[in-house]
Chain A
Amino acid sequence: MPGKQENRRLIALLTPGSIFLGIFFLGPLSVMIVYSFLEPGLYGGVEWNFYHLNYGRILGWADGEWEEFDPVYAEIFFRSVRIAFTNVVITLLICYPAAIWVSGLAVRWRTFVVFIITLPFFVSLVVRLFCWVLILRPSGFMNTTLMGLGLISEPIDIIYTETAVLIGMAYIMLPFMFLPLYASIEKLDRSLVEASSDLGAKPYQTFLRVILPATLPGIAAGAVLVFIPSLGNFVVPDLLGGAKVLMIGNLVEQQFLSARNWPFGAALSVMIMLVMFILIIFYVRRIGRSEIAR
């Protein structure tokens, strides 16, 4: 019977992946979740006692005796979500028109443009972000150029602000938004656009009623791909945000590397994961299903 053979095939195909993920993904993940409920050791490491105040510090039930609740954690958390979300909006607004334009080019030009867009991946992320430091700092290219042109008299104080973080974040995340968007826009059946126009829909109506729904899977995929790494990113705020624009990723990094409070760092990570988990479930239920139904 085909059923049995199918099962055997499935097992053969999934076994290597399952073993890999089981050891190298679920393993560390479990360690992290367990650590987040343990007591921090005095000199780093953990004491093997159940301890919920790591979460209390973030969410507000730490009593101040052993651990202190500080709203700054929640603040950093919400700032991170806000920056990640804003970044999704920015990259979407940049990439959507660009993807429409690229999908209208001749095939060989399309391939070329897609290559150009993935080109930054060939250079180290840190190097690229340092370039942004050179561009954005008070004596950087941007300010000297603008002052040279006489457009401004004082340098714009943009580096180490949230704006700088957003610029850097959008810059590194653009390809992750562009590629899924482009894939779904390129797949879009042009005759649907023509049919809509033929039936009397003005261009904005065609966009809202046909193009947008048809490319929604691409938008959703791009949004998830940009949101998740943005939320946990610590390199960009580190280099472009300075000490002023801390994000949750920096906090986790500090807890693990500087403060050596692993349980607290783990608790922060679990919080990020929860947010992402909820988002993914939402994505799968709303968009994924309609995509599968096609």
Chain B
Amino acid sequence: MIGKTSESIAEVKNAVKRFPAPEGGVITALDGISLEIQQSQFVTLLGPSGCGKTTLLRAISGFEDLDSGEVRIGGELVTGVPPYRRPVNTVFQNYALFPHLSVSGNVAYGLEVAGVSRSECNRRVGEALERVGLAGFDRRKPSQLSGGQQQRVALARAIINQPKLLLLDEPLSALDRNLRQSMQIELKNLQHDLGICFLFVTHDQEEALTMSDQVVVLNQGRIEQVGPPKAHYHQPTTRFVAEFIGDGALFSGKIQNTTEDPILFTEDGLRIPVGVGAKVGDSVTLIIRPEQLDIAKQHVEGSMGILDVVLEQSLFQGATNKYVCQLANGSTITAIPTAAGNEAFSRVKPGEAVRLSYRRSEPHLIIESEHAG
């Protein structure tokens, strides 16, 4: 990565953390994670529950000590530094608002414990509340607010100390879908306006893809892939990422060449034409996204791959139509064809055979192991 010395806000090196499992044994929450977070970026830690993303967040905020490895914030090693001395603030999953304090009391908390003068305090609380759209709510108690409003108070409270890094632990998971989507945009705007770094934890891939500059996909305490959202979708580097992000059919097998073009032979007997990039003998995984598939025309060009399937179900989804088809090996594959494809599909009845086509160059190939020699 570029500008490693000056722009890095937080850095995690070889972080390892194990917990005793309730039923005996140990759970490895962090299994040697290294990560660098750059200035003024929106970074998301994405992964299924139990992948270690919250543990990583808590290791940065100081609530969890690492078994080994180190955390640096603003270049400084923070091992053993308690949370209240770390220049980061957190928006907690359940908001953790102080029930006995008013909205302004909650927001002012960080300033008051730091001994900021009352007038300065009032001014900054006013500013922060304005920024999150809660001006005029200062005298309410948290219990008198809706979930979305509580969320905003938690946000205002966390940004008032002007942290170098704002940590957000699944803050939107308790909100309903519409509110969640508008909060996603607001969070993104807030991050842009403040110019501080957001480290956002979620298990929701849509949330991660919508908001982030960088997405870090975690699985079983390890980093699977780091990069911009598009890269995760179009060029997943591992099978896990390909399955976790977006829909698509995955095929694993060996590349063989029967004629002139490479073909993927799966173990259960499918033959799937692939594009260049894989050599004969490589073990690969191919990901075909639904929007890459269309109904095959009469005349098939050489640059196209063909799959023979049986239509199972057509699903109307508003803007698009989705066709669930069955392959020869019994597995399903989904197609979201173009308008012309839809036209052709509408004449196919469930149970009838149909030919799907895709550009050989489009589906992404993960090369698991190269052919020796």
A223 to B143, CA, bound (A): 27
Interface size of B in residues (CB-CB distance below 8 Å): 26
Closest B residue by C-beta to A194: B63
Closest A residue by C-beta to B160: A199
Choose one: A197, A199, A201, A294; the contact of B157 (CB below 8 Å): A199
Stretch in contact with the other chain, from B81-89, B172-180, B257-265: B81-89
Choose one: A195, A202, A206; the contact of B92 (CB below 8 Å): A195
A214 to B90, CA, bound (A): 21
Interface size of A in residues (CB-CB distance below 8 Å): 22
**Interface 0/1 of A181-196, CB less than 8 Å to B:** 0000000010110111
A105 to B140, CA, bound (A): 35
In the complex, the answer to whether A209 meets B96 with C-beta atoms within 8 Å is no
Q: What is the CB-to-nearest-CB distance from A288 to chain B, in angstroms, rounded to a whole number?
A: 15
In the complex, the answer to whether A213 meets B96 with C-beta atoms within 8 Å is no
Q: Is A145 an interface residue when CB atoms closer than 8 A count as contact?
A: no
A199 to B82, CA, bound (A): 11
User: Which residues 84-115 of B sit at the A interface, judged by CB distance below 8 A?
Assistant: 84-85, 88-90, 92, 94, 96-100, 109-110, 113-114
Choose one: A199, A290, A293; the contact of B113 (CB below 8 Å): A199
Known contacts A189-B96, A198-B84, A198-B89; A294 and B109 CB within 8 A of each other: no
How many A-B pairs with Cβ below 8 Å? 66
Q: Is B61 an interface residue when CB atoms closer than 8 A count as contact?
A: yes
Closest B residue by C-beta to A106: B22
User: Which residues 34-48 of A sit at the B interface, judged by CB distance below 8 A?
Assistant: none
Residues of A within 8 A of B143 (CB): 294
A200 to B92, CA, bound (A): 15
In the complex, the answer to whether A200 meets B96 with C-beta atoms within 8 Å is no
Residues of A within 8 A of B109 (CB): 196, 199, 201, 209
Choose one: B83, B100, B113; the contact of A194 (CB below 8 Å): B83
A210 to B100, CA, bound (A): 8
* A-B complex: 8 closest residue pairs judged by Cβ atoms: A199-B110, A195-B96, A191-B96, A201-B113, A197-B83, A213-B100, A198-B90, A197-B84
**Residues of B in contact with A (beta carbons under 8 Å apart):** 61-63, 82-85, 88-90, 92, 94, 96-100, 109-110, 113-114, 141, 143, 157-158, 161
Listed A/B pairs (21) with beta-carbon separation below 8 Å: A189-B96, A194-B90, A194-B92, A195-B90, A195-B98, A196-B109, A197-B63, A197-B82, A198-B83, A199-B84, A199-B109, A199-B110, A200-B84, A200-B110, A200-B114, A201-B113, A202-B84, A202-B113, A209-B113, A214-B100, A290-B100
